[in-house]
Amino acid sequence: MIYRAAADTVVLVHLAFILFVVAGGVPVLKWPKLAWIHLPAVAWGALVEFTGWICPLTPLENNLRIAAGGLGYSGGFVERYLIPVVYPPSLTRTVQFAIGATVLAINAGVYTALLLRKNRHSS
% of the chain exceeding 70 in pLDDT: 83
115/21 Cα distance (integer angstroms) = 19
What is the residue extent of each domain of the chain? 2-122
| Per-residue model confidence as pLDDT tens digits over 54-106 | 888 888 988 988 898 877 666 666 556 665 654 456 678 888 888 889 999 99
114/112 Cα distance (integer angstroms) = 5
Burial of 121 (0-12, 13-18, 19+ CB in 10 A): exposed
